[in-house]
Amino acid sequence: MKKVALLGSTGSIGTQTLDVIRQHPDRFQVRLLACGRNIDLLKKQIAEFQPAVIVIRDEGDLSKLKGHLPIGTRAVAGESALLAAVAETDADFVMNALVGSQGLKPTLTAIEAGKTIGIANKETLVTAGHLVTAASKHYGAQLMAVDSEHSAIWQSLEGSKRSEVTRLIVTASGGSFRDWSADAVARATPEDALKHPNWSMGQKVTIDSATMMNKGLEVIEAHWLFDMPYENIDVLIHRESIIHSLVEYQDKSVIAQLGTPDMKVAIQYALAYPDRLELNGPERLNLWEVGALHFENTDPIKHQCLTMAYQAGETGGSAPTVLNAANEEAVQQFLKGELSFTGIADTVEKALAAHTVIAHPSIDEVMEVDLETRERTRNEK
């Protein structure tokens, strides 16, 4: 029985994680649930999974849980309470499905506690990959890839020597606007951008997919997860989202992981590793029904956010922190109708240009750069 702490339980990855756990009650037990403001959904999750600890964002919402806590379950609120709960939980596995840079400190706390961590929060490695990977080595904590692309790379590396790997190839659907003209994209609305052709994801990730920033963040994450130089990580547009990523070896063999687009496959692989469990939900992949698979190169001009992500990653230091923080703020402004779709890339570019890079930032410096970037981005809108 693997005990699980789930951070971000009411989001897209969080609810799908609970779908997997629900299918295997003999294998997994929920010990901690943490979420933001979706208290109504949280109440249903509490009733079903009866965790030992509940953590919510705002202390003012604790009263809403009155009468909904099983005997023996306690509820706390705030970031410090979350970090304490992660440090103290008896869970073996911490699934970090929080959205944005708020996932960094809980990840570091889980690492220091020697937990196995499922990294569904890519911003953790983007903003402070040097700190996270160094801490995981020091404390002997294991980082499990949960993004479908990184899970595919992980699976394609199984049984092979890392020294024999020459290239990682991360696939991208191309997002909501892959077939739109530049003029049409400039007029795109949030409703347009949220219509992803293949995947069902949260709002922020779906917008990032449309700008290709999501793929840029995944490149930085892959760099840290698999210790691979940026020049050996390629991005390939693959419309069908059947091949989730590929690994090239020095003998020119290429191994890929294929499947229908369903995040529960990657989630369960991380939770159950090294076992593979039966999973209901994803459709069986019948390639004769798919008929053909299509591939395209990325365009450094059209996919400006991807280009900036490569540049920030290669620059290193605090540059990826700025990239991520400016992007998060710009995406929120776009969703609120305060910024055009093309303004997202412009906003990130301005933030990077205005920043003086810190070569080896501490955790305090990372958080300070993150905050300063957000404030500057909000003030310039």
State how beta strands 165-172 and 28-34 pair.
unpaired
Answer CATH for 2-145 from 3.30.420.40, 3.90.470.20, 3.20.20.70, 3.40.50.720:
3.40.50.720
Residue 214 labeled ligand binder: yes
Residue 100 labeled ligand binder: no
For position 70, what pLDDT does the model report? 94
Residue 38 labeled ligand binder: yes
For position 292, what pLDDT does the model report? 96
Residue 149 labeled ligand binder: yes
CA 293 to chain centroid: 26
CA–CA separation, 120 vs 122, rounded Å? Answer: 6
∠ Cα 11 15 21 (to 5°): 150
Question: 77 near 56, Cβ under 8 Å?
Answer: yes
CA 120 to chain centroid: 4
What the block records as the tokens of 273 is 């590793």
Residue 209 labeled ligand binder: yes
For position 178, what pLDDT does the model report? 87
What the block records as the tokens of 63 is 């009263």
Residue 124 labeled ligand binder: no
Residue 173 labeled ligand binder: yes
For position 175, what pLDDT does the model report? 82
Could you say which DSSP state residue 73 is in? -
Residue 123 labeled ligand binder: yes
Residue 122 labeled ligand binder: yes
Indicate where the chain has its CATH 3.40.50.720 domain(s): 2-145
Residue 13 labeled ligand binder: yes
Residue 327 labeled ligand binder: no
Strand arrangement of the beta sheet that strand 295-297 belongs to: 254-258, 243-249, 165-172, 233-238, 295-297
CA–CA separation, 117 vs 4, rounded Å? Answer: 10
Residue 163 labeled ligand binder: no
For position 295, what pLDDT does the model report? 96
Residue 375 labeled ligand binder: no
- Written as tens digits, the pLDDT of the chain (381 aa) is 999 999 999 998 999 999 999 999 999 999 999 999 999 999 999 999 999 999 999 999 999 999 999 999 999 999 999 999 999 999 999 999 998 778 899 999 999 999 999 999 888 999 999 999 999 999 999 999 999 999 999 999 999 999 999 999 999 998 888 888 888 888 888 888 888 776 666 788 889 989 999 999 999 999 999 999 999 999 999 999 999 999 999 999 999 999 998 999 999 999 999 999 999 988 999 999 999 999 999 999 899 999 999 999 999 999 999 999 999 999 999 999 999 999 999 999 999 999 999 999 999 999 999 999 999 999 886
Residue 9 labeled ligand binder: no
CA–CA separation, 303 vs 232, rounded Å? Answer: 19
Residue 215 labeled ligand binder: yes
Token pair 């419309």: residue: 239
Residue 112 labeled ligand binder: no
CA–CA separation, 117 vs 107, rounded Å? Answer: 7
Residue 121 labeled ligand binder: yes
Which residues partner with 311 through β-bridges? none
State how beta strands 254-258 and 243-249 pair.
antiparallel
